[in-house]
Amino acid sequence: MTKVTIIGPCLVLEILRAMFPHKPTSLIVAALCFCIVFTSSGPVTLAQKKTAPAEATPPPVREQFKFGEVDLEVLEQADLLDTRFERDGLVLVDESANAFLRRVGQSLVPRDLELEKVSWKFRALRDPQPNAFALPNGSIYVTTGLLTLIDNESQLAAIIAHELTHVMRRHTYVYNRSNRKKFLSMNVMAAIGAFAPGGVVGAVITIVTTVAPFIMMATIYGYSRDLEREADLKGIDMMISAEYAPEEMVNVMKLLDKDLEGENIRLFYNDHPSLDERIKYLSGYLGARADRVTHQMELNRERAAYFRTMESVMRHDLQLAIKAGRARSAVYLAQRLVEFHDDSENLFWLAESYRTLGPRTPQLTEKQLTNSAMKDAAKKSVKRTVEEEERELLATPAGKENWERHQQLAEQFYRRALNAENPAPVAHRGLGMLYEKLERGTDAVAEYEKYLELSPSAIDRVRIQRRIEALKEKLK
Amino acid sequence: MSVRSIVLVVLLTVCGSHQVQAQFLHPKIKANETTIRRVVVLPAKVNVVRDSMKGPEGMAAESDELSLRVEKMVAEVLSKKKNVATLPAAAPSAEGDAEQKYNVADFQTKFDELLPKIMKKRSDVKKGRFSMGDEVLNLNLEKGADAVVFIRGEGKKLTSGKTAFRLLVGGVPAYLRLQIGIVDARNGEVLLYTDPIFTGDPTTAVDRLRKALEKSFKKLPEVKGQ
């Protein structure tokens, strides 16, 4: 009876609509909801086990792990995932960023450790949603969204240490074996199908879901609470061994708690123990174990070094966030970047973020962050296109006021970008787009032409030329 | 038998015995204001899973093979039945390899982002409501390209155990569902959307796939004198 949950409610509904064009949809929806609720409720409750005490952490490696046929299949899928991520343009090609990740990762792996069928790889994934995950073959991925959100190397070490534990302790295999017995996958997969976001944010999820459904559940949606707790605590031990500030594990949890976009289904660290709970047990564990608290000055130095190394990744992530319509995150992250280094390119990204923010509020209100409001917003976002959403907001006085303010800020930052040392030509393109929206055709054409003059081989040259032609036609 | 069992069996029996094709054309196509003569087919993303008694299992290699087959077959059907030529996608230049790769990847995901909105009200394609914007020009396609074809798909293959179980208890059969969007290469407007579905093993049912595709492009006007 659980099969319908795999196929996904949308598909069944589409088929039904085609089969019964004159039947009331609500009846069909109700029937489907009924089925899904009934088929999902049982096994999920099985997964909510009591958590283990925080005191002792297990040895780093799961000794005497014997690979079975099922485990080898999972391993093969993990290797295929690596290939797909690369082929589909999801792995960030930034040698310095990947080298940095490698250095931090390797410093955490215990020396002389050799694990069967594990080859360590540390890579940045082009995804604006903050997340990190490990594949059982030793590939550790940290998204650009998370790399941009964190403050320093110790926080990155905290994330990688957590993921390393999942690999060393063979959590994926353990979880897979357990789930195959429980049939839990069917229900979890149905939930993923129903709530996975689209676009850039959903790309990784889509690939993992289809290539390796079990890996999907374990690596991205979280293992059982016990395994997550083990990874957190073991991660702290590894940080201390590698001389990273262990308290930064707690600070990472706090950063992950930010909900800038009001996403009611926060996909990644969501199914781990609750963040509050994690902060609590990590602080407790740290209090008992830590023999040092890193001096704030040391952390500040680390922050500056981290921002310098990751600046290009952060810019890339801003671009992704803007493309994915995560304008609030983009403004927040661009402000951090400009505070660190207000060069022309960073100012340009802040301007772009404000231009994209348009009529939206820069921050969500308490009311908008309630669960029901977030659910409503998620439903609406499927019904409306981005342009329709903007039009609706612009029809309200508050939306209009936001739009005017953000366009002004955008113009101000574009100007600052152009007045800075080594001005980025793209700021002219940004101004052109801004003026086009403000119906200042002549100014827009001038800015576009300036952009093309300064960047004759720009990848969007054809697009801008077309815009110039259209504007000139309109101005005649 | 519980109520949910009855509901499911009825639903799945109905689903299993029919093929469904729906197609929606932009008013410009209907009014012959825009003609699709040459298209660029972007790499298809079709994924199939094997449904076993112990849950779904990934079929990455088979999915890649099927994606390629669907992509080729779409081009073939468009060419043979509608006289629409397929142009090769622009190869990334040596210096801008990564940037071009990101560009295509991001545009593919932009379609994924729009897809749920289209599916929510497919008939609005007929009103010209959906567009991917002029960013499509950043793909730097060949000059003569009129449109870009996006192909998505999902399917399920049953193991023998699961097939036997289905015969006894009922359930969703093996199937393949495609979602195909044709987007104007100049302004990003969605010119056609179609989503053929057929039952049968998606990895082997080649003829069914061809028939489903032929049906799904039925309304697209044929190009005269290419």
Partner A contacted by B10 (CB < 8 A)? no
Contact A463 B55 (CB under 8 A): no
pLDDT at A216: 55
Q: Tell me the shortest Cα–Cα distance from A228 to chain B, in angstroms.
A: 23
Interior angle at CA A81, CA A76 and CA A84, nearest 5: 130
pLDDT at B26 over 60: yes
Partner A contacted by B195 (CB < 8 A)? yes
pLDDT at B153: 93
pLDDT at A12: 37
Q: What digits encode the pLDDT tens for the residues A242-275?
A: 888 888 888 888 888 777 777 644 444 444 567 7
Residues of chain B with C-beta less than 8 angstroms from the C-beta of A210: 47-49, 58, 60, 63, 154
State which H helix or E strand residue A269 sits in: none
Contact B156 A7 (CB under 8 A): yes
Contact B55 A459 (CB under 8 A): no
Alpha helices, H only, A138-198: 144-149, 153-168, 171-182, 184-195
pLDDT at A140: 95
Contact B116 A382 (CB under 8 A): yes
**Reported pTM:** 0.77
Residues of chain A with pLDDT under 50: 1-56, 184-200, 264-271
Residues of chain B with C-beta less than 8 angstroms from the C-beta of A126: 102, 105
Partner A contacted by B60 (CB < 8 A)? yes
The pLDDT of B79-92, averaged and rounded, is 82
Neighbours of B71 (CB within 10 A): 19
Q: Tell me the shortest Cα–Cα distance from A234 to chain B, in angstroms.
A: 31
Q: What is the DSSP string of A240-251?
A: HHTT--TTHHHH
Q: What digits encode the pLDDT tens for the residues A441-466?
A: 999 999 999 999 999 989 899 999 99
pLDDT at B96 over 70: no
The partner residue sitting opposite A93, judged by closest CB among B11, B98, B134, is: B98
pLDDT at B91: 55
- B226 confidence band (pLDDT: 50, 70, 90): low
Interface-testing mutation among B106, B118, B122, B132, with chain A (most A C-beta atoms within 10 A): B106
Residues of chain B with C-beta less than 8 angstroms from the C-beta of A203: 105, 109, 112
| Mean pLDDT (chain B, rounded) | 84
Q: Please choose, from the candidates B78, B123, B86, the residue with its C-alpha nearest in 3D space to the C-alpha of residue B214.
A: B78
Interface-testing mutation among A459, A466, A467, A469, with chain B (most B C-beta atoms within 10 A): A459
The partner residue sitting opposite B58, judged by closest CB among A34, A202, A213, is: A213
Contact B117 A34 (CB under 8 A): no
- B127 confidence band (pLDDT: 50, 70, 90): very high
Contact A203 B102 (CB under 8 A): no
> Please, what's the largest Cα pairwise distance for chain B?
65
pLDDT at A172: 83
Question: A190 phi and psi, to 5 degrees?
Answer: -65, -40
Contact A39 B195 (CB under 8 A): no
Q: Tell me the ipTM for this assembly.
A: 0.82
Q: What digits encode the pLDDT tens for the residues B146-196?
A: 999 999 999 999 888 888 877 777 777 889 999 999 999 999 999 999 999
pLDDT at B168: 76
SS3 sequence of chain B: CCHHHHHHHHHHHHHHCCCECCEEECHHHHCCCCCCCEEEECCCEEEEEEEECCEEEECHHHHHHHHHHHHHHHHHHHHHHHCCEEECCCCCCCCCHHHHHHHHHHHHHHHHHHHHHHHHCHHHHHHCCCECCHHHHHHCCCCCCCEEEEEEEEEEEECHHHHHHHHHHCCCCCEEEEEEEEEECCCCEEEEEECCEEECCCCCCHHHHHHHHHHHCCCCCCCCCC
Q: Which residue from B minimizes the CA distance to A381? A: B117
| Higher pLDDT, residue A4 or B13 | B13
